[in-house]
């Protein structure tokens, strides 16, 4: 009964947020350069390092179109690897001075004590490192021999800072699936407070590597793993926002599925495009900061994000869960957009039948 | 305005975390928890009034610090629950003269604080 009431309130809230669409979370793809060559990279977005880093001044001009409101905005620096920018502290400082908060996603490879202090000095308030397994598996996926030891050092620094809202993300695949309990123990022993698991989208170069994708039964195993570990409350482990998970809704994350792309989440991408999460098909861009006013674009465009009716096609057309799912995460629509690339709900249902 | 009312009501019904705390797959958690303050200031010599370069300005109980620049200036964000302390130390030996250390405690700081400090010679 309580679950039912919560779900109804959540449905109303979703509609309301979609109508008002407050911008709370802004990705800035500040570089497309990277110091690693991960096997799953390119599965989600165009990692074309032929782009120069976006000059800070260009980004700030776009940021300055956002009026001062009571909304709390976190600007998420992403890439590529943001730490390759030599002016990363200055970028953070300028964002923070504008009353906005900022955070960074990193592979942790270049994150040492000096960098840690410099970024805290610049007002960094949240941080995410990727860790895709214990030593062997992490190094395999990250395609670099010592990437685990570097990530390990970075985690040690981050957990010590009371200022940081810090978490670790793990991309679950065939090779690290059985290792999840060991990663869980490792993170708890490290003092990590929050851990997010996500899966890989079958596009780009990842598409050709079957080791990266989970079978139906394996996805269900991940759900069960998260569900049981959440009950222990030793670490805030959760499934990422990526998809609607049917019977596991509200049990594997703090709340129900809600793809907030273009509703609360916007982005400024490496070429100046204005969009939402960087893993969304680039054809959804709504404008670009070199020709359009960023905030006007946020306020007046983004129709495909705020009215997902176009996703009622392919297998979503007659889906009985459509109202709660609305076609899954927007990053599962690519190319001709004739069908959703992955339906988590269907995979879980199939696994439950077998 | 209406929206903030709705948020307040839903937050009061303990739906706050569920509704407002989120992170995108390839993003970070939001910076919801931290309170910080921008500390800016200048360090000079009490005897001469001249700016001192290379003084280590540290936030006590934190790993954070910064060295003063050519104009004796420093500027960094410090995590605070309202009160915090700064320590000023001459760590470069005789390079820019030698000065005594100094501690400063700041209360109820919000947003930005300006701290000008004069150090005595050793
Ligand atoms: S078929 Fe489409 S709408 Fe239905 S659960 Fe799957 S992804 Fe969601
Ligand atoms: S597009 Fe994907 S990553 Fe972005 S909010 Fe939606 S589900 Fe999450």
A134/A182 Cα distance (integer angstroms) = 8
Question: Is A175 strand, coil or helix?
Answer: coil
A15 — contact with chain B (CB < 8 Å)?
A: no
Q: What is the mean pLDDT of residues A236-244?
A: 96
Output the CA angle B54-B41-A119, nearest 5 degrees.
70
B94 and B64 in one domain?
yes
Structure tokens at A306: 């705020």
| Banded model confidence at residue B33, pLDDT cuts 50, 70, 90 | low
pLDDT at B1 over 60: no
Backbone angles phi, psi at A331, to 5 degrees: -75, 0
Give yes or no for a contact between A108 and A150, defined as CB atoms under 8 angstroms apart. Answer: yes
Q: Name residues contacting ligand 1 (CB within 6 A).
A: A 244, 315-316, 319, 321-322, 325, 327-328, 340, 343, 345-346
- Tell me the pLDDT of chain B averaged across its residues: 83
A49/A104 Cα distance (integer angstroms) = 19
Each residue of A84-104: pLDDT tens digit?
A: 999 999 999 999 999 999 999
pLDDT at A259 over 50: yes
pLDDT reported for residue B71? 96
Residue whose pair of structure tokens reads 């390092």 in the numeric block: A49
B105 — contact with chain A (CB < 8 Å)?
A: no
Q: What is the mean pLDDT of residues A39-56?
A: 68
pLDDT reported for residue A323? 93
Cα dihedral A265, A266, A268, A270 in deg (nearest 10): 50
pLDDT at A328 over 50: yes
B23 and B50 in one domain?
no
B62/A160 Cα distance (integer angstroms) = 9
B59 and B25 in one domain?
no
pLDDT at B59 over 70: yes
Closest residue in A to B76 (Cα) is A121
- Tell me the pLDDT of chain A averaged across its residues: 92
Q: What is the mean pLDDT of residues B75-104?
A: 84
Burial category of A181 from C-beta neighbours within 10 Å (exposed 0-12, middle 13-18, buried 19 and up): exposed
Task: Tell me the ipTM for this assembly.
Answer: 0.88
| Contacts with B36 (C-beta within 8 Å, 6 or more apart), sequence order | A123, A125, A163, B77, B78, B79, B80
B95 and B52 in one domain?
yes
Structure tokens at A131: 């860790």
Name the residue among A101, A194, A241 with its Cβ closest to that of B22: A241
| Banded model confidence at residue B11, pLDDT cuts 50, 70, 90 | low
Which residues in chain A have Cβ-Cβ distances shorter than 8 Å to B63? 113, 116-117, 120, 160-161
Strands lying side by side in the sheet with B55-59 = B65-67, B55-59, B84-90, B102-106
Task: State if residue A260 touches ligand 2 by the CB under 6 angstroms criterion.
Answer: yes
A45/A204 Cα distance (integer angstroms) = 8
Q: What is the mean pLDDT of residues A232-237?
A: 97
Each residue of A173-194: pLDDT tens digit?
A: 988 999 999 999 999 999 999 9
A59/A267 Cα distance (integer angstroms) = 11
Name the residue among B4, B28, B33 with its Cβ closest to that of A76: B28
B41 and B78 in one domain?
yes
Give yes or no for a contact between A90 and A296, defined as CB atoms under 8 angstroms apart. Answer: no
Which residues in chain B have Cβ-Cβ distances shorter than 8 Å to A74? 28, 30-31
Q: What is the CATH number of the domain that holds B92?
A: 2.60.40.1120
pLDDT reported for residue A205? 66
Domains along chain A with CATH numbers? 21-310 (3.20.20.70)
B66 and B88 in one domain?
yes
Closest by CA to B101, choosing from B91, B114, B113, B110, is B91
pLDDT reported for residue A4? 80
B106 and B57 in one domain?
yes
Rounded to 10 deg, the angle between the A216-232 and A180-190 helix axes is 30
Closest by CA to B119, choosing from B103, B102, B94, is B102
Give yes or no for a contact between A46 and A282, defined as CB atoms under 8 angstroms apart. Answer: yes
pLDDT reported for residue A267? 98
Closest by CA to A219, choosing from A173, A259, A168, is A173
What is the CB-side half-sphere exposure of residue A107 using CA atoms within 13 A?
Answer: 26
Q: Among positive and negative, which fits the CA dihedral A236, A239, A241, A244? A: negative
| Number of structural domains chain B divides into | 2
pLDDT reported for residue B12? 52
Look up the domain containing B11 and give its range: 1-29
Closest by CA to B38, choosing from A101, A30, A114, A77, is A101
Q: Choose from A90, A107, A123 for mutation: most chain B CBs within 10 A.
A: A123
Q: Do B25 and A240 touch (CB under 8 A)?
A: yes
Q: SS3 letters for A76-109?
A: EEECCCHHHCCCHHHHHHHHHHCCCEEEEEECCC
| Banded model confidence at residue A45, pLDDT cuts 50, 70, 90 | very low
B83 and B67 in one domain?
yes
pLDDT reported for residue B4? 61
Least confident span in A53-57, A69-73, A258-262, A347-351: A69-73
């Amino acid at each position: 009964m309580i679950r039912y009431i919560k779900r109804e309130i959540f449905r109303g809230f979703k509609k309301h947020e979609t109508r008002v669409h407050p911008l709370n979370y802004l990705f800035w793809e500040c570089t497309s350069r990277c110091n690693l060559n991960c096997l799953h990279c390119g599965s989600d977005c165009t990692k074309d390092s032929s782009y120069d880093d976006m000059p800070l001044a260009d980004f700030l001009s776009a940021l300055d179109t956002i009026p001062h409101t009571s909304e709390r905005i976190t600007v998420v620096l992403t890439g590529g690897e943001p730490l390759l920018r030599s002016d990363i502290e200055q970028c953070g400082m300028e964002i923070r001075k504008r009353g906005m908060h900022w955070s960074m996603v990193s592979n942790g490879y270049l994150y040492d004590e000096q960098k840690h202090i410099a970024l805290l000095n610049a007002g960094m308030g949240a941080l995410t490192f990727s860790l895709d397994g214990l030593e062997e598996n992490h190094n395999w996926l990250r395609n670099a021999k010592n990437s685990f030891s570097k990530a390990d050092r970075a985690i040690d620094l981050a957990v010590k800072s009371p200022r940081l809202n810090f978490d670790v993300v793990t991309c679950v695949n065939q090779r690290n699936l059985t290792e999840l309990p060991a990663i869980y123990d490792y993170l708890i022993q490290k003092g990590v407070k929050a851990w997010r698991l996500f899966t890989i989208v079958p596009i780009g170069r990842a598409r050709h590597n079957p080791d990266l994708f989970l079978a139906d039964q394996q996805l269900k195993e991940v759900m069960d793993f998260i569900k049981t570990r959440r009950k222990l409350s030793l670490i805030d482990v959760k499934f990422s926002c990526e998809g609607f998970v049917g019977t596991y809704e509200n049990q594997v994350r703090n709340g129900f599925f809600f793809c907030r792309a273009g509703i609360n989440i916007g982005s400024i991408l490496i070429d100046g495009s204005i969009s939402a999460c960087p893993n969304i098909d680039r054809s959804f861009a709504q404008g670009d900061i070199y020709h359009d006013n960023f905030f006007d674009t946020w306020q007046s465009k983004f129709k495909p994000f705020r009215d997902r009716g176009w996703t009622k096609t392919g297998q979503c057309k007659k889906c009985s869960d459509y109202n709660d799912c609305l076609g899954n995460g927007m990053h599962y629509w690519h190319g001709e957009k004739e069908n959703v690339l992955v339906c988590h709900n269907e995979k879980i249902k199939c696994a439950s039948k077998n | 305005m209406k929206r903030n009312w709705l948020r307040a009501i839903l937050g009061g019904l303990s739906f706050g975390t569920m509704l407002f705390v989120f992170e995108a797959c390839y993003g970070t958690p939001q910076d919801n928890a931290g309170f910080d303050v921008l500390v800016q200031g200048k360090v000079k010599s009490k005897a001469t009034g001249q700016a001192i370069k290379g003084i280590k300005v540290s936030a006590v109980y934190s790993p954070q610090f910064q060295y003063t620049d050519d104009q004796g200036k420093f500027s960094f964000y410090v995590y605070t629950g309202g009160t915090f302390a700064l320590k000023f130390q001459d760590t470069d030996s005789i390079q820019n003269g030698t000065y005594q250390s100094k501690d400063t405690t700041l209360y109820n700081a919000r947003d930005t604080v300006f701290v000008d400090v004069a150090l005595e010679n050793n």
